[in-house]
Structure 1
Amino acid sequence: MPAHRASSATLAGAYPFLVPPPCDIGVPVGQDALTGGPFCFDPWALYSAGDLTNPNLLLAGVIGQGKSALAKSLAMRSITAGRAVYVPGDPKGEWAPVAQAAGGTVVRLGTGLPARLNPLDAPDGPEPHGPRIRLLAAVAALTVHRELAAAEHGALDAALASAERRSTPTIGDVLDALASPDATSARADGVRIEDRSADGRDLAHGLRRLVRGDLAGLFDGPSTERLDPRAPMVVLDLSRLGSDEDALALAMTCASAWLEGALLASTAKRWVIYDEAWRVLRHVALVRRMQSQWKLSRAHGIANLMVLHRLSDLDAIGQHGSEARSLAQGLLADCSTRVIYRQESDQLSGTASALGLTRPERDLLPVLPRGTGLWKMPHRTHVVHHVLHPAEVDVVDTDSAMRDHTEPHER
């Protein structure tokens, strides 16, 4: 076969695993499987160097392959480098030990627990009405299991405006205003009071769940918690809510809204970690809100980390060509770094298409050993063995009880 000569850029495209440049900026993650050298990662430093177009990260892999251990150890190690970590919803209660080990704060929410969060607490800024109505619209759409009609959105906006006559409104105040609309506001909008009341009736029934239903006592009154913006880590533990998917999605949305407002004053670079993100991705209104928040991440020094089992989790949101699917694809586009752990063979085509993987990268996915991931970035690809220090294992490795303790701590 005759010799072939090409530039390094051309060769990198044809043979993506051929001597990638070292990634030695940031906290240590593990060992580069192709070079044997250390692999480090810090999205803010890499963004500043021009290696990333945004700081967000997607982490996907089948259950039991070590993706949770990676997310938790990356969080703890980032704290030692001066970063902060926020987990706005922890459905399994797995992040509480991590926060406690890092000297952080855990807020536990659930029936019978004393903590209560008001997602309508005013964030810093001259105009809190906009963020509040967008949150309420997303929550209301989830409770009624459909998109809101224009008249319903108008009724909700008017109810919020009425509730905002208090210094800090609550969802309970909004529910009361939906049940008894303000006549002056209705006349100003050219709407009969009877019609305004009818427009808000379904929304009132939906929001009732947060005030007098199974989620009562969590988000329906003034906040009982005050967070220190200097805390290295904050986790909102939702494990007491059980496995009700709608309840968890509602709670994760309200809790994340409260956390955003409570900690917006912090100037620290910070991770916001969406574990079990597939729960939120099933609801169009919540994905729309998540995407709008991600667009603001760079302005606030935030790197989002979204954890999925597989890329087909995004299929649940809608069909190809739909607005919902476009929103999901937008979230992927807003993740410059994609870390893929082992995928089943029936997931390969969809994963490769969604992430723009080359054929060698695609073929590697079903044979990746536990704790090893494909790190796909705009101008480089690495295969990385995640390495845990023995002191980290009991804190971050939630699957250790299922394995022989003689296994090495390379996860």
Structure 2
Amino acid sequence: MAPHRASSATLAGAYPFLTAPALDRGVLVGTDALTGGPFCFDPWDLYAAGELTNPNLLLAGVIGQGKSALAKSLAVRSIAAGRRVYVPGDPKGEWAAVARAVGGVVLALGPGSAVRLNPLDAGDGDPAAVHGRRARLLVALAETTLGRPLRPAEHGALDAAVTVAARRPAPTVPDVIDALAAPDPDAARADGSTAVERTAEGREVAHGLRRLVRGDLAGLFDGPSTGHLDPAAPMVALDLSRLGSNEDALALAMTCTSAWLEAALAAPGAGPRWVIYDEAWRLMRSQALVQRMQAQWKLSRAYGIANLLILHRLSDLDAVGHAGTEARAIAAGLLADCSTRVIYRQETDQLAATAAALGLTGTERDLLPALGRGTGLWKLPRRSHVVHHHLHPDEAALFDTDAAMRAYPTGKVPS
């Protein structure tokens, strides 16, 4: 074959690892596998420098390759750099120990817990913004429990009920249900309806919301908050592990907790914050929750937050819906709004879909099955790196998620 000569700028398009400059802005992650130099990352610094178009990050990789350790070390090290961390839903309870270790707050929700959160807590903001947050939350909850989109008349009935409930100093979900069952006649008349008609229009919505009052989530989101978010806490983790494998309950709880955090995220002057969605494949089953996440992604720059979405593989998006559906398009939009993609080892049958979804080159795609534990491909706009993630021994002990697998030597499992 005849030799070919080209500039490094040209060759970078075919083999991007040849010319990627060092990334030394932010917290230390590990070492660049190709140069041996340190690799650092901070989405806010890189966004300010024009390296990123948004601060959001996608982390994907098969089980057991170190995704969780990377996410936790990035969170803890970012705290040392002055960032804060929110984990709006921890399905397995793995972030609780991390939050306590850094002096953060853990709120455990589920059967047997004394913690209750009022998802309608107003937070700061003008009345119109507060009303909008409450209405969007209740629409998401109702659509999740009913398993369908609300009809226009139902939207109207729910909006009117939120207005009536807001006459109380601290409205709760039961207040909204009561307002749906007994609408304000004057408000209905002003909307060209009657109280009887409005009651009929909101009946199914009220039944859907009652799951939070009398169903499996009773006692968690149906009264004034007993747990409060400390904006000065370095980390806040909402432990949902007590909900077990109930996917519907998890989706409803995540919708409530994300809304509860939304007021804090929108607070001005709170500084840069990570919002981490671990085990996101479970969250993807709820279209209403994915839609709320999409809105948060779009507002990340305005809020000063960086969302971290953790998946096993890109086919996890199938849980949202089939290709071509609105739900699948929304989920794909979350990926598009992640300027940074960190991909750990992928199985060979996932390579084509992963490369297509994330815009990988052929070289990057072929690299994925060969990545070792703790090594990932970091793909940023205009640059790519292969990075060995390094853990301090204290971090390794704190972040360990495999202890149960090593608890008993072969042949010594207790009876």
Normalising by structure 1, report the TM-score: 0.95
Match of 1:318 among 318, 321, 324: 321
Residue 103 and residue 379 in structure 1: after superposition, are their counterparts in 2 closer, same or farther (change >3 A)?
same
Corresponding residue of 2:27: 27
Q: 1:302 aligns with which of 288, 305, 308?
A: 305
- Give 1:263 shift: 5.4
Aligned to 2:259: 257
Deviations 1:324-360 (A, max 9, x none): 2221121111100000111111111111000000111
- Counterpart of 1:129, as a letter, is H
> Contact 2:116–2:224 at 8 Å: present in 1 too?
yes
In structure 2, what is the Cα distance between the partners aligned to 1:347 and 1:224?
Answer: 45
Where does residue 269 of structure 1 map in the other structure? 272
Letter in 1 for 2:230: D
Q: Does 2:242 correspond to 1:240?
A: yes
Q: Give 3-state SS (helix, strand or coil) of 2:210's partner.
A: helix
Structure 2 unaligned runs (5+)? 409-415
In structure 2, what is the Cα distance between the partners aligned to 1:279 and 1:184? 43
Q: CA deviation at 1:110?
A: 1.3
* C-alpha contact (below 8 Å) 2:279/2:310 kept by paired residues: yes
Q: Is the 2:182–2:195 contact (alpha carbons within 8 Å) kept by the matching residues of 1?
A: no
Q: Is 1:288 matched up with 2:291?
A: yes
Residue 19 of structure 1 contacts residue 34 of structure 1 at CA under 8 Å; is this kept in 2? no
Trace 1:142-221 onto structure 2 (pairs within 5 A). 142-221=144-223
Aligned-pair CA distance for 1:157 = 0.8
Q: Deviations over 1:1-26 (max 9, x none)?
A: 44423232221111122142111111
Percent identity among equivalent residues?
A: 73
What is the CA RMSD across the aligned residues, in angstroms?
Answer: 1.6
Q: What is the alpha-carbon distance in structure 1 between the residues aligned to residue 244 and residue 178 of structure 2?
A: 28
- TM-score relative to the length of structure 2: 0.94
Given that residues 265 and 305 in structure 2 are in contact (C-alpha distance below 8 angstroms), is that contact kept between their aligned partners in structure 1?
Answer: no
Distance 2:265 2:18 in 1: 43
State the alpha-carbon separation in 2 of the partners of residues 181 and 112 from structure 1: 35
Name the amino acid aligned to 1:186: A
What is the Cα deviation at residue 322 of structure 1?
2.4
- Shift in Å at residue 401 of structure 1? 4.6
The corresponding residue for 1:5 is: 5
Counterpart amino acid of residue 52 in structure 2: L
Deviating more after overlay: 130-139 vs 317-326: 317-326
Question: Residue 107 of structure 1 aligns to a residue in which SS?
Answer: strand
Q: Distance in 2 between matches of 1:280 and 1:396?
A: 22
Instruction: Give distance in 1, aligned partners of 2:47 and 2:3.
Output: 38
Ranges of 4+ aligned residues in structure 1 off by more than 4 Å? none
Q: Does 1:332 align with 2:335?
A: yes
- For the Cα contact (< 8 Å) 1:342–1:366, is it kept in 2? yes
**Residue 34 (structure 1) shift:** 1.1
1:129 to 107, 128, 131: 131
- Cα deviation digits, residues 78-111 of structure 1 (max 9, x gap): 0111110110001111000000111111111112
2:54 aligned with 1:54:
yes
Q: In 2, distance between residues paired with 1:316 and 1:270?
A: 28
Letter aligned with residue 88 of structure 1: P
* 3-state SS in 1 of match to 2:30: strand
Contact 2:87 2:238 survives alignment (8 Å): yes
**Counterpart contact for 1:229–1:263, Cα < 8 Å:** no
Q: Answer whether contact 1:119 1:258 (CA < 8 A) is retained.
A: yes
The change in CA–CA distance for 1:400 and 1:19 in structure 2 (over 3 A counts) is farther
CA contact under 8 A between 1:60 and 1:340: conserved in structure 2?
yes
- Asked whether the 8 Å contact 1:227–1:263 carries over to 2, the reply is no
Contact residue 265 and residue 303 of structure 2 kept, 8 A: no
Question: In 2, distance between residues paired with 1:154 and 1:5?
Answer: 67
Partner of 2:373: 370
User: 1:308, 1:43 → 2: CA distance?
Assistant: 19
The reply on whether 1:80 has 2:83 as its aligned counterpart is no
Which consecutive residues of structure 1, in runs of 5 or more, have no partner in the other structure? 406-411
In structure 1, C-alpha distance between the alignment counterparts of 2:231 and 2:256, rounded to whole Å: 19
* Stretch deviating more after TM superposition (190-199 or 79-88): 190-199
By how many angstroms is 1:227 displaced? 2.5
Mark the CA change 1:402 to 1:37 in structure 2 (over 3 Å): closer, same or farther: farther
Q: After the TM superposition, which of the residue ranges 264-273 and 125-134 deviates more from structure 2?
A: 264-273
